[in-house]
Amino acid sequence: MLKSNMVYSWDECPVIMDLVFVSRILGQTPETLKKRAQRSELPGAFKTGREWRVSKDKLRAYIEGQRN
């Protein structure tokens, strides 16, 4: 992944993100994230129509919880 595509601040993130944007944060492919979302393994993930979205607040809490 190119560094220019990485996200360096939560201020750069929208409140609701698509899987392509989340992939920039987590360093996983959108396909992997879709599978995790389908298995309820991606916190804050929900489906709108045919697309998966992720809540910024829930993803942030998950990531910060992984550090502890």
Sketch the domain layout of the chain as residue ranges: 3-67
pLDDT at 35: 98
CA distance linking residue 17 with residue 50, whole number of Å = 14
pLDDT at 67: 77
CA distance linking residue 66 with residue 41, whole number of Å = 14
Q: pTM for the whole thing?
A: 0.83
How crowded is residue 58: how many other Cβ atoms within 10 Å of its Cβ? 14
* pLDDT tens track, the chain, 68 positions: 445 577 788 888 899 999 999 999 999 999 999 999 999 999 999 999 999 999 999 999 999 988 76
pLDDT at 68: 65
pLDDT at 42: 95
Nearest in space to 21 (alpha carbons), one of 48, 62, 59: 59
